[in-house]
Chain A
Amino acid sequence: MFRGLFQYVDSNSPIHRLNPQVKLLMLLPVLLLAIAANGIVTLLFVFAFVLSLYLLARIPRSRYRAILIIGLFSSLSFFFFGMFFYFGFYQHPEGTITILTWIFRPEQAESMPILGPFLLWLTGGRGIVIAQEGLVWGTVTTLKFSIALFSSNLMIMTTKPKEILLSLSKIGIPVKITFVAMTALRFVPVVMEEYYTIMNAQQARGLKIKKLNPKSIFEGLTTTLTTLIVNIIKRARILALAMETRGFGAKVQKVSYEELKMTPRDKTLTAVIFAATVTIIILMLFYPYHTGFTL
């Protein structure tokens, strides 16, 4: 299901040809907006911008599946959480938020055996409501998360891992840290492959997973994941030992000798990105309510 998530897709689109450092820089204003902006319209606009870059990158449709599943699942969980358990309702007295309907009133607790007192205990005696602010919070959080997920995934899908490593160390991030990050990324397919092998082997030995039974899924996952985690730890240990015998840990002046060239177009784009970032920061500081930013 998750084959192809966070993996490079080879193509020759305008996004692929862009200098990796510029791409990395482009994440800056996008992520800044995702973190700081709270207006739905602003966030929708940014999300649409990220999606348009996907179209420009000509990513084959089959590679969307994993990210759509993750995006949808996380969106739904944020949305439902905001809908039913909006924190504002529990933090502030009644009247400061707009309650649309009551799902569970504290008075109802007596008429519901077991569940009633439990819900009362869970909600600190306040009950459950659907509030307008909760719906807004759910939508905003969903958008923020989706922007971060889709934009970083696009970066990884359109940039060769080697180029990411190179541009990260160019920015001045220590080699050891970039190395750890890249190793984690590059072993994703290996670990996924191993997960399928373990699962197939266990199914061949009679493990039955009923797809719609949560208990069965949980049992299947625990047996498979235990084996998988043990294998990953073993693998990581060997990798660490092997790297140590190949000199990892020695002080190195320069790890890579390759250069990244900035074309005039890259330079212009860098200037535009910088200008956009500065504009966003100014808007956030001086016009928070007009633009939907609240810091």
Chain B
Amino acid sequence: MASILSTENLYYTHPGATQYALKNINLEVKEGDFTLIAGPTGSGKSTLALCLTGLIPQVIVGDMKGTVLVDGKDTRQYEVYQMAQYIGLVFQNAENQLCALDVEDEIAFGPRHLNLSKEETEARVENTLRLMQLEQFRDRDPQTLSRGQKIGLAVASVLSMKPKVLILDEPTLGQDSSRINSLVSMLKTMSKEGLAIVVITHDINFAAEHASRVVVIDNGKILLDGEPHMVLSQEEVLHSASLEPPGSVRLSKLLGLPPMLTVDEISKALQNREEAGG
């Protein structure tokens, strides 16, 4: 699959700061990838998201070195609204990014700014409403929705622009587990259709079993980058970044099995072992 988002030797310093907020970030995301970027609070995850969308250096000042390419386009050379059709970002605090007067308008905001036709805009709004199960709220004021619904709407308002990369910053905060599960299954479907998804989180358990890749960041540096089983088995490195690997990894180690991410995987492995041994 083709690379859709890549950074090369990316360095960033906040205005007035002396230390790098991001140090030598080399990242490549391909079409249909489901990438998890994990790290403790203040590790530079959200700053990285701002770099990837081009908000840094176009809107937010500071010293950025290196290049970020989205769909082959350098973020330095395009305005943020031009990049908006390729890369979407759902911010950490969903309710702060809702600006329209009703749910339909909120979702139509992006497509309208892409200068799509009336029919196309309406079709996209309908599709996205159905996809995010927000149909019954179409005429509601976004600020009156529940927290979980607001996050759903924030995701919907970005998805309606049909970007090639979708970045979600801490989508699990303040959500109940059933909503998280439905969000994850929706994201998985989207990634199978070719959308590259980047989830930024401090909760490494979230989607670890669904992600095709996990990147661990601490102090602005990439510590680990690779397939989830490989990354999550490195307990010492994870602990040094204040991250807690899933209990199933420890359990599988105690049972003398290779690192496993879910209970199902462990039970299957145990069954296999019994059959082989028995």
A243 touches B99 (CB 8 A): yes
A245 touches B55 (CB 8 A): yes
The interface size of chain A toward B, counting residues with CB under 8 Å, comes to 30
Q: How far is the CA of A253 from the CA of B116 in the complex (A)?
A: 10
Q: How far is the CB of B105 from chain A (nearest CB, A)?
A: 7
A257 touches B118 (CB 8 A): yes
Given contacts A238-B91, A250-B115, contact A244 B97 (CB under 8 A): no
Is the CB of B18 closer than 8 A to any CB of chain A? no
Q: How far is the CB of B122 from chain A (nearest CB, A)?
A: 8
B114 touches A239 (CB 8 A): no
The proximity string for A residues 197-214 relative to B, scoring 1 for CB distances below 8 Å and 0 otherwise, is 000000000000000000
- Of listed A186, A247, A254, residue having the most chain B CB within 10 A: A247
Q: How far is the CB of A202 from chain B (nearest CB, A)?
A: 21
A-chain residues with CB within 8 Å of residue B101 when the two chains form the complex: 160-162, 165, 182, 186
B113 touches A247 (CB 8 A): yes
B-chain residues with CB within 8 Å of residue A235 when the two chains form the complex: 96
* Number of CB contacts from chain A to chain B under 8 A: 88
Q: How far is the CA of A67 from the CA of B79 in the complex (A)?
A: 44
The proximity string for A residues 45-75 relative to B, scoring 1 for CB distances below 8 Å and 0 otherwise, is 0000000000000000000000000000000
B143 touches A245 (CB 8 A): no
A241 touches B59 (CB 8 A): yes
Closest to B118 in A: A257
B-chain residues with CB within 8 Å of residue A102 when the two chains form the complex: none
The proximity string for B residues 104-121 relative to A, scoring 1 for CB distances below 8 Å and 0 otherwise, is 010001101111001001
A-chain residues with CB within 8 Å of residue B96 when the two chains form the complex: 235, 238-239, 242
Given contacts A165-B101, A238-B91, contact A246 B59 (CB under 8 A): no
Give me 23 A-to-B residue pairs in the complex whose CB atoms sit less than 8 angstroms apart, sorted by A's number: A186-B143, A238-B96, A239-B97, A239-B99, A241-B55, A241-B59, A241-B91, A242-B99, A244-B55, A244-B81, A244-B84, A245-B87, A245-B88, A245-B89, A246-B110, A247-B109, A247-B113, A250-B82, A252-B112, A252-B115, A253-B115, A256-B112, A257-B118
Can you add 9 more A-B contacts, CB < 8 Å, to A162-B101, A245-B55, A247-B110?
A162-B102, A190-B143, A241-B91, A242-B97, A244-B81, A247-B109, A250-B84, A254-B112, A255-B112
